[in-house]
């Protein structure tokens, strides 16, 4: 009796594993995240695309940020804290 329960459980596990592997194989052919990216046929860059959308809405790109603002953004993103004045000065001298 106990052996048949074990065999039944092994059959269910094998069937589940087979279906799981099959679903992974099918997903590899269709899921968007598994398809390698392709360059757009238009040949335009992302900057041109964004510029076009901004101009359609009557907006313009922001001015380029100063080095002081750039170092602050990087530190806040990477460390979660603003840079010390010494770190800012060292970056500005570089």
Going residue by residue through the chain, which has 94 residues, state the pLDDT in tens, using 9 for 90 and above.
566 888 888 888 888 888 887 777 766 666 777 778 887 777 778 888 899 999 999 999 889 999 999 999 999 999 999 999 999 999 999 8
Q: How far is CA 36 from CA 12, 15, 31, 33, 79, in A?
A: 35, 31, 10, 8, 32
- Is the pTM of the predicted complex or chain greater than 0.85? no
Which of 57, 67, 58, 63 shows the shortest CA–CA distance to 88?
Answer: 67
- Find the angle CA(56)-CA(57)-CA(58) to the nearest 5 degrees: 95
């Amino acid at each position: 009796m106990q052996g048949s329960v074990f065999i039944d459980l092994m059959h269910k596990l094998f069937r589940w594993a087979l279906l799981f592997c099959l679903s992974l194989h099918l997903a590899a052919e269709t899921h968007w995240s598994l398809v390698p990216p392709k360059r757009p046929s238009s040949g335009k860059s992302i900057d041109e695309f964004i510029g076009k959308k901004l101009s359609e809405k009557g907006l313009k790109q922001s001015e380029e940020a100063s080095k002081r603002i750039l170092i602050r953004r990087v530190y806040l993103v990477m460390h979660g804290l603003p840079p010390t004045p010494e770190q800012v000065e060292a970056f500005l001298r570089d």
